[in-house]
Amino acid sequence: MVDGYNDAECHRVRSTLKAHRLRFKKIVGGRDESEPLLRLADAVAGFLGDRKKGKPYALKLWNRLGVYFLEV
């Protein structure tokens, strides 16, 4: 699920994943704030954004959490 994406945007995501030969089952858009996995993904994206902006809390936590991420 891609939060907030419409069908055209999902098609672009699907095409990009295929171009990189990444496997997936289904790409759907929409908004479902009650979905726990979507909420977790949103929180992780927010944390990574804060790290990129240089926010002190994120930089401090990154020392411990960075080993769980792979930059591509």
Spatial separation of the C-alpha atoms in residues 66 and 72, rounded to whole Å:
14
Ramachandran sector of residue 32 (left: φ over 0; alpha: ψ -120 to 50; beta: rest): beta
Say what the pLDDT of residue 15 is.
Answer: 93
Q: Which domain holds residue 1?
A: 1-31
Same domain, 5 and 25: yes
Token code pair at residue 27: 């790409």
Residue 71 domain-assigned (yes or no): no
Say what the pLDDT of residue 54 is.
Answer: 95
Residue 1 domain-assigned (yes or no): yes
Residue 72 domain-assigned (yes or no): no
Residue 70 domain-assigned (yes or no): no
Question: What string of pLDDT tens digits covers the 72 residues of the chain?
Answer: 777 788 889 899 999 999 999 988 888 877 767 778 878 888 889 999 999 999 999 999 998 988 888 777
Rg of the chain on CA atoms, in Å? 15
Q: How many domains does the chain have?
A: 2
Q: Enter the pTM of the model.
A: 0.56
Same domain, 18 and 7: yes
